[in-house]
Amino acid sequence: MSGTKVKRTPFFKILIANRGEIALRIMRSARRLGYGVVAVYSDADRDALHVREADQAVRIGEALPAQSYLKIDAIIAAAKASGAGAVHPGYGFLAENEDFAQACRDAGLVFIGPSPQAIRAMGNKAGAKDIMQEAGVPCVPGYQGADQSDAVMLAEARAIGFPVMIKAVAGGGGRGMRLVADAAAFPDALRSARSEAQGAFGDPTVILERAIVDPRHIEIQVFGDRYGNAIHLGERDCSVQRRHQKLIEEAPSPAVTPALREQMGAVAVQAVKAIGYEGAGTLEFLLDRDGHFYFMEMNTRLQVEHPVTEAITALDLVELQLRVASGQPLGLTQDDITFSGHAIEVRLCSEDAGHDFMPQSGRMARWQRPDGIRVEHALQSGSEIPPFYDSMIAKLISHGATRDEARGKLICALEQVTAFGVTTNQGFLIDCLRHPVFAKGQATTSFIGQNGEALLASRPDRASDVALAALLLYVTSRYAPLWQGGRSLAATFPLGLRIDLGHGVQEIEIVRQRDGSYLAARNSDRFSFEIDELGEDSIRFRRNGLMESAKFLRDGDRLFILHRGVTLAVRDLTLAPPESASAAGGDGKVRAAMNGRVVAVLVKAGDKVAAGQPVMTLEAMKMEHVHTAGVAGTVSAIDVAEGEQVTTGKIVVEIKVDKQAA
């Protein structure tokens, strides 16, 4: 820095062009440094926590809330209206949008991120690979040519050799990405990837890469300033993924040695210095079984998983972003960076892991975060989880002296999370952390694919879950006598219940006995309960001699239970009429499985379809989900149009059942 002229770009108020936990995370560091903060919001987020926590908030939403946070003109206008001097793009799509960075500059606003030129150079996957190849950095073999015709793409895929990866040239987060096993599946996968990329990034261009078998996904965190200084902050292992989106991240990687860390870090620093990179960035690599690494792409932004790097370096990466953007030197050399302990982060998502990770939306009836651990979220009891945005609703980050300590802390914390009202992947994350492969630090990007059956297996104590649900339904019923401990002289009669825990209707009888205990009977199973304490939202009980506790929430005919780290959503169907097979599509009607937007209608009236044939593609929470015919027959009606927003359960396609097939 000696002799270098310092160029300051001061600002005093920051508009955060993102939502939810991202906005709240940035606000926290900005306020600690003395900056004012401004939020933006769509109509769907009018009452969101990030709006209420900001000093000011500006509405930018319209009919399609999913697109509101991507409207550059509206965000620039919001910054001007609020008097903000700088814009932080968060860590969403705008953070990697060169047009947005340029628009901020043109409006006289400080963009808290790299220059438009750096985003253009490294934010485009095809261009970034060209730069890396010229610099001698090993890259995954593939095709990133301008000719995007179907014929050329298929020919290039054959030349690369299957399996291949199709990847959107813009953006990230797994959108527009498909793994294709053979040539027969390639055309449909290419169409789907392009459609998703167009919807997410406004650009359908894709590249092809050879699929590296069972790699680790390793990324290197880098920082640069406008004076030519650059450092790396070590690596993160992001191998545990579903649909090419990360679920668990950790630092350091169990597979990276100090020598490999130094080598990969040096490559990353060399790359960002070559383009005069300013701010936070991440270079992503695949690490194969033999320890060879290949550059995939660069994310020109702060990553969702940055807290694990903060945990082991004791640095605030948002603070570094703000200091660099204001013109201050980085103030750190590579020798200043030290690592302490191990950190693991999990992404709590509103999705049903047992049903192909189907995204879920609705009202979070009760939310309670665990104590003693870092949790990034924007939730509260009563929060609405809209269908327009990413399914991630919270991040939990643990730090320990060792990997096992960090893993143990995280499991305990997840077991304490109360998330009632919307299905989440809470139990699935616990099972992942406990799995022997992950526990040994051996998880690759194939971890969920290879172990999914075991991870998603039915709970072995399902019968006891039914019994516990019956007990809580009984003692919380307005018709039941008020619970009191001790013996009872009153005669009681068995109460028959019909309940559903998400895997079919179960019938069970429960009765309070004269000694004060409860007996639940289901087929040949018998469960005896003694209640030690019953509160408004918790119960302490003994079951067959074992004392346990659970949290619960009674909400009409719904009952939510948190027991042993697993949330059970129970429906009381005792007084409900029997359900027909129509919900599964057996009546020929295909229903939307979630709230979302129709992106493709794959059939037309009069078409013959087979059971299981794709008929419609719905986009929800930034991912596409194909809906299929439940029966064989002839399409009699299409009840939606492409681009239409639909709600869960809406009939989208009607099929006249083929009686011969039936």
Give CA–CA dist 372/375, Å, rounded: 9
- Average predicted confidence (pLDDT) for the chain: 89
Q: What would the mean pLDDT of 190-203 be, rounded to a whole number?
A: 85
Residue 286 CA to its chain's centroid (Å): 21
Confidence of residue 494 (pLDDT cuts 50, 70, 90): confident
DSSP codes joined into one string, 151-218: HHHHHHHHHH-SSEEEEESS--TTTTEEEE-SGGGHHHHHHHHHHHHHHHHS---EEEEE--SS-EEE
Residue pLDDT, tens place only, 316-354: 999 999 999 999 999 999 999 999 999 999 999 999 898
3 state DSSP class of 289:
coil
Distance separating alpha carbons of residues 630 and 613, to the nearest angstrom: 8
**Are 410 and 344 spatial neighbours (Cβ–Cβ below 8 Å)?**
yes
Question: Which tokens go with 36?
Answer: 């004012």
C-alpha distance from residue 129 to each of 114, 125, 126 (Å): 18, 6, 5
- Pick from 151-155, 519-523, 619-623: least confident: 619-623
**pLDDT value at residue 462:** 82
Domains of the chain: 13-112 (3.40.50.20), 141-210 (3.30.1490.20), 216-455 (3.30.470.20), 462-572 (3.30.700), 581-657 (2.40.50.100)
Q: What is the mean predicted confidence (pLDDT) over 68-76? A: 90
- Report yes or no: 88 and 26 within 8 Å, Cβ to Cβ: yes
Residue with tokens 């062009």: 17
C-alpha 411 chain-centroid distance: 18
* Chain centre distance of CA 405: 24
What's the one-letter identity of residue 400?
Answer: G
Nearest partner of 20 among 48, 43, 44, 42, judged by Cα: 48
Q: Are 60 and 79 in contact (CB under 8 A)?
A: no
pLDDT over 90 at 304, yes or no: yes
**Residue tagged 């290197």 (tokens):** 220
Give the model's pLDDT for residue 581.
44
pLDDT at site 519: 92
- Angle between helical axes of 317-325 and 306-313 (0-180°, round to 10): 100
pLDDT at 52: 95
Q: How far is CA 565 from CA 249, 361, 382, 397, 507, in A?
A: 20, 21, 21, 17, 25
- Angstrom distance (rounded) from CA 299 to CA 247: 18
Give the whole-angstrom CA distance, residue 511 versus residue 561: 20
Q: Which residues of 440-470 are buried (b: 16+ CB within 10 A; e: fewer)?
A: eeebbbebbeebeeebbeeeeeebbbbbbbb
Are 533 and 540 spatial neighbours (Cβ–Cβ below 8 Å)? Answer: yes
pLDDT average, residue stretch 415-420: 96
Q: What is the DSSP secondary structure assignment for residue 109, as one 8-state letter?
A: P
C-beta of residue 361 within 8 angstroms of C-beta of residue 595? yes
Residue 32 a catalytic site member: no
**pLDDT tens digits for 88-118?**
999 988 898 999 999 999 999 999 999 999 9
Q: Which residue is it, tokens 């937007």?
A: 597
Among 29-38, 393-402, 445-454, where is mean pLDDT lowest? 445-454
Q: Distance between CA atoms of 43 and 66, rounded to whole angstroms?
A: 10
CA 225 → CA 124, 150, 218, 324, 464, distances in Å? 21, 42, 24, 6, 58
pTM of the model: 0.84
Q: Quote the pLDDT of residue 197.
A: 85
Q: Name the active-site residue from 236, 301, 369, 407.
A: 301
**Residue 500: how many CB atoms within 10 A of its CB?**
17
Local confidence band at 486 (pLDDT 50, 70, 90 cut-offs): low
Per residue in 123-162, pLDDT tens?
Answer: 677 777 778 877 778 888 889 888 999 999 999 999 998 9
